[in-house]
Amino acid sequence: MALQITQLRMTRFLGRFGRARKGATAVEFALIAAPFFFLLFAIVEITMVFFTSTALDHASMDVARKIRTGEFQSTGASSADFVAQVCDSMSGLIACNGNVSVDIRTFVDFGDVVVNNPIDANGNLNQGAFQFDPGNAGDIVLVRVFYSWQLSTPMIGTVFANLANNRRLIVSSLAFRNEPFGA
């Protein structure tokens, strides 16, 4: 008898619970909130990566112009000076602090330009293989500027990261012939 009463109460409770509509919106939002916010944050982060890529391209072109015209070579500037000028040219919109690296090489002919993979077998940026040679008048120069972006949206790194430690490598490359600035 007591078991039947308990079953009857349970059946009534489940029936009332199934018909109740109070809080349905909250439950539906709770189910959809996590994917919604993940998607929202992923879109914002990917937008920031593309913005950084555009800013890096613009800054690289600005500073590489100084190499092309010989201004950079005449001052005896170093790789660190080039990085500092790239960071200044990005107007402080992107935090450079140790995230920017450069590889500047010279070649005799455009057909001789060789681009090596900047990522080592462990998924790290291989800065030991980078050079800094802005060249002389008439030289072919390859300028590559690298920015290591730390991904912060959870799980996006499994798809979007191309470096170790959940980082994305953003690259700006320019190839040009130095102007005859010594003549």
DSSP states along 48-107: HHHHHHHHHHHHHHHHHHHHHTTHHHHHT--HHHHHHHHHHHTTTSS--TTTEEEEEEEE
Neighbours of 122 (CB within 10 A): 8
**Element of type H or E holding 145:** strand 140-150
Domain ranges of the chain: 2-177
Q: What's the pLDDT tens digit per position in 82-106?
A: 999 999 998 777 888 889 999 999 9
pLDDT at site 91: 74
At residue 2, the pLDDT reads 66
Report the relative pairing of strands 100-107 and 140-150 from DSSP bridges.
antiparallel
Residues of the chain scoring pLDDT < 70: 1-3, 17-21, 183
pLDDT score of 23: 72
Distance (Å) of CA 144 to CA 26, 89, 133, 147, 174? 51, 16, 12, 10, 6
In this predicted structure, what is the pLDDT of residue 53?
Answer: 96
pLDDT in tens, 7-34: 877 787 777 766 666 777 778 888 999 9
* Whole-number pLDDT of residue 119: 93
Per-residue confidence (pLDDT) for residue 25, from 0 to 100: 76
Per-residue pLDDT at 20: 64
Q: Which residues contact 79 (CB under 8 A, 6 or more apart)?
A: 102, 104, 130, 132
Number of H helices, E strands in the chain: 5, 3
pTM surpassing 0.95? no
Q: What is the pLDDT of residue 5?
A: 73
